[in-house]
């Protein structure tokens, strides 16, 4: 009678997946064991090759030296000396030193190849699953390798011909490697090294006049006189070179263009003023052309040749955050004047240790500057920025909408602009100020998106054309300058004041030096103060017109570029008179 076999039940999907997982784990373990076996075989193969090389050396020694000689070490000790095995104090080599059983076990454990993964490590101690006792390795000096090429130095003492070192077939002699291409590479390499050495020498060399302590002496500058009372006293016109690192659309670049334009307009007979950049890059030619300047590109390595070719008397360096000292590139008879425009990277001011004069564009920057300690106090001064407004009479005001119009025009960066200010104008200020409209000039994708859902906000984008920008600012009733960090003399505030537009600002940086409360605007602590002033001026149109008139009058008497340029001309005369660089 045949026994009936019960059919096997079919595996479910979960059982099949579990079986596949176990197969994968088993396959990985097999592959790991195979890799470890291959590593062990390679180690044994290398050990056999090294043993054959040592046996060949031993056979050569046996042919040349008998078993024992009078006055010479025996064959075994000679072999060990040739192989570089050190001796102990008793004269016996370390490899033949008697060991205890514990030392032999430790050596055997530490020298065998480790093919097992340790469970945990504590310092130099390793614990394995199948190891009952844990051994702490003892520090031993490594034994030098038995290399054939290390034998000749020792074999010469016994007049043994040294074996020739084996040369791999891939290695070639130095003569075979020299080709015209390699020679050209070597020449270019030496040329680059020479250029680097020359640049390092230029950076370390200082002017003999400046190194003698010129900036440590007192600079006699007479009190500044007004534009109407100033008279030029030097025998010949002076030549100034105004340099800056970049030609981007920043406040420092605009202020530099305004100053050079003012010097050319009001003091063209008394000197020549050049506008230059130290780095070659693209820039907006139309924007600089509107300021009547044409930038030149003068790398700092070429400053000395440029100054000699154009007979430059003074180099005026307009400092931005990435500026560095360029006094080492100037001839010794050229004065070096530094003008600090920014509050960023103030620690770099200490590196400008060879300037004739250190100028700040406002009192705040002069107080906060980390100036060189050896500079005399009379060589540090503040000259407030100024801009031109004579061209504004020919510009018509932009056709704006709203009963009370505010606006702002500057870079929309985190320190000067907060996105929540637009929401505050819509949700808070517009409820108390009837007919409020705010014009925003600047480049910000977030502000553009935010302004789409706000009725009182008009986003105009970035405007680089000087005439169009000033026409919009000229149509404003109040300039809303809500910032959050300190800065110098803001070009944005100066442009608003030049158009006769009062400014609302906070007491940050150099803003209080430009804006005087009740004269050309108001300096408030927070937005509540802004709202109070905006509401009062929107209700009283006569007070607003009176404030606009006093704003324009104060600008013409104090912040016009002709007053700033006049102070710089008096400073240039004092610097050249102190250096005795021109005939007075």
Q: Please state the pTM of the whole predicted model.
A: 0.64
Q: Look at residue 470 and give its three-state secondary structure.
A: helix
Question: Checking DSSP bridges between strand 404-409 and strand 457-461, what pairing results, if any?
Answer: unpaired
Judge contact between 406 and 476, C-beta under 8 A. Answer: yes
Query: Angle 402-403-406 (CA atoms, 0-180°, nearest 5)?
Result: 70
Structural domains of the chain sorted by starting position, each given as residue range(s) with its CATH number in brackets: 49-158 (no CATH), 238-387+575-579 (3.40.50.2000), 390-559 (3.40.50.2000)
Rounded CA gap, 551 and 407, in Å? 17
**Helix 491-498 crosses helix 466-474 at what angle (to 10 degrees)?**
70
Residues found in the chain: 584
Pair 433, 404: CB distance under 8 Å: yes
Assign 210 to helix, strand or coil.
helix
> What distance in Å separates the CA atoms of residue 152 and residue 160, rounded to the nearest whole number?
8
pLDDT at 106: 61
Beta strand pairing call for 120-122 and 271-277: unpaired
Phi-psi region of 402 (alpha: psi -120 to 50; beta: other; left: phi over 0): left
Distance (Å, rounded) from C-alpha 297 to C-alpha 306? Answer: 11
Of 417, 261, 250, the closest CA to residue 341 belongs to 250
User: What does the pLDDT read at residue 83?
Assistant: 53
**Separation CA 251–CA 244 (nearest Å):** 12
Rounded alpha-carbon distances, angstroms, from residue 306 to 298, 314, 331, 455: 8, 12, 10, 55
Residue-level pLDDT at 38:
84
Q: How far is the C-alpha of 267 from the C-alpha of 251, rounded, in Å?
A: 23
Q: How far apart are CA 417 and CA 439, in angstroms?
A: 14
Neighbouring CB atoms inside 10 A of 558's CB total 16
C-alpha 515: how far from its chain's center? 34
State how beta strands 521-524 and 457-461 pair.
unpaired
- Residue 89 sits at φ, ψ, to 5 deg, of -65, -30
Question: What is the C-alpha to C-alpha distance for residues 280 and 260, in angstroms, rounded to an integer?
Answer: 20
How large is the angle between the packed helices 13-64 and 75-83, nearest 10 degrees?
120
pLDDT tens per residue across span 202-249: 554 444 334 445 678 888 888 999 999 999 999 899 999 999 998 887
Q: Which helix (H) or strand (E) holds 38?
A: helix 13-64
**485 DSSP 8-state letter:** S
Three-class DSSP category at 318: strand
122 CB contacts (<8 Å, ≥6 apart)? Answer: none
214 in Cβ contact with 564 (< 8 Å): no
Q: Is-contact 405 548, C-beta < 8 A?
A: no
Contact 354, 210 (CB under 8 A): yes
Helices (H), 515-560: 527-539, 541-554
* b/e map 183-204, b = 16+ CB within 10 Å: eeeeeeeeeeeeeeeeeeeeee
- CB atoms closer than 10 angstroms to residue 243: 21
Low-confidence ranges of the chain (pLDDT < 50): 1, 67-75, 89-96, 116-135, 146-155, 157-160, 162, 167-176, 204-212, 581-584
CA torsion, ordered 372, 375, 376, 377, to nearest 10 deg: -30
């Amino acid at each position: 009678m045949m026994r009936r076999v019960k059919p096997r039940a079919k595996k479910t999907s979960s059982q099949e997946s579990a079986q596949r997982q176990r197969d994968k784990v088993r396959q990985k373990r097999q592959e790991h064991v195979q890799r470890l076996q291959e590593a062990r075989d390679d180690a044994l193969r290398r050990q056999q090759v090294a043993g054959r090389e040592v046996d060949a050396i031993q056979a050569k020694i046996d042919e040349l030296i008998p078993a024992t000689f009078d006055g010479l070490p025996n064959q075994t000790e000679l072999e060990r000396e040739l192989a570089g095995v050190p001796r102990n104090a008793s004269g016996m080599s370390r490899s033949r030193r008697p060991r205890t059983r514990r030392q032999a076990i430790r050596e055997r454990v530490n020298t065998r190849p480790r093919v097992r993964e340790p469970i945990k490590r504590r310092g130099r101690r390793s614990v394995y699953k199948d190891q009952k006792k844990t051994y702490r390795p003892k520090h031993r000096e490594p034994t030098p390798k038995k290399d054939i090429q290390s034998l000749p130095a020792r074999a010469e003492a016994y007049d043994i011909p040294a074996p020739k070192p084996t040369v791999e077939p891939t290695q070639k002699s130095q003569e075979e490697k020299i080709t015209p291409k390699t020679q050209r590479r070597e020449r270019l390499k030496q040329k680059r090294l020479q250029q680097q050495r020359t640049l390092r020498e230029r950076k370390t060399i200082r002017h003999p006049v400046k190194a003698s302590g010129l900036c440590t002496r007192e600079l006699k500058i007479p009190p500044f006189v007004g534009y109407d009372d100033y008279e030029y006293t030097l025998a010949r016109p002076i030549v100034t070179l105004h340099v800056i690192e970049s030609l981007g659309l920043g406040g420092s670049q605009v202020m530099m263009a305004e100053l050079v334009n003012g010097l050319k307009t009001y003091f063209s007979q008394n000197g020549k003023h050049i506008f230059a950049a130290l780095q070659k890059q693209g820039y907006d030619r139309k924007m600089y052309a509107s300021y009547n300047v044409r930038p030149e590109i003068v790398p700092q390595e070429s400053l000395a040749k440029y100054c000699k070719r154009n007979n430059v008397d003074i180099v005026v360096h307009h400092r931005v955050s990435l500026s560095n000292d360029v006094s080492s590139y100037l001839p010794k008879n050229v004065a070096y004047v530094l003008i600090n425009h920014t509050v960023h990277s103030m620690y770099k001011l200490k590196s400008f240790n060879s300037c004739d004069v250190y100028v700040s564009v406002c009192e705040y920057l002069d107080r906060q500057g980390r100036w060189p300690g050896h500079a005399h106090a009379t060589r540090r001064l503040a000259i407030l920025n100024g801009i031109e407004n004579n061209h504004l009479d020919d510009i018509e005001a932009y056709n704006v909408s709203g009963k009370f119009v505010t606006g702002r025009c500057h870079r929309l960066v985190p320190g000067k602009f907060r996105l929540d200010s637009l929401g505050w104008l819509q949700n808070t200020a517009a409820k108390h100020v009837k007919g409020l409209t705010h014009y925003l000039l600047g480049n910000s994708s977030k502000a553009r998106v935010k302004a789409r859902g706000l009725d009182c906000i008009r986003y105009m984008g970035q405007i680089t054309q000087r005439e169009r920008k000033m026409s919009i600012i000229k149509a404003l009733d109040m300039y809303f300058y809500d910032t959050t960090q300190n800065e110098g003399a803001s070009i944005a505030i100066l442009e608003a004041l030049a158009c006769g537009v009062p400014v609302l600002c906070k007491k940050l940086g150099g803003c209080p030096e430009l804006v005087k409360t009740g004269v050309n605007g108001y300096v408030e602590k927070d937005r509540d103060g802004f709202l109070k002033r905006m509401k009062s001026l929107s209700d009283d149109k006569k007070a607003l017109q009176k404030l606009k008139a006093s704003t324009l009058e104060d600008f013409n008497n104090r912040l016009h570029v002709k007053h700033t340029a006049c102070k710089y001309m008096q400073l240039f005369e004092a610097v050249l008179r102190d250096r005795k660089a021109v005939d007075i």
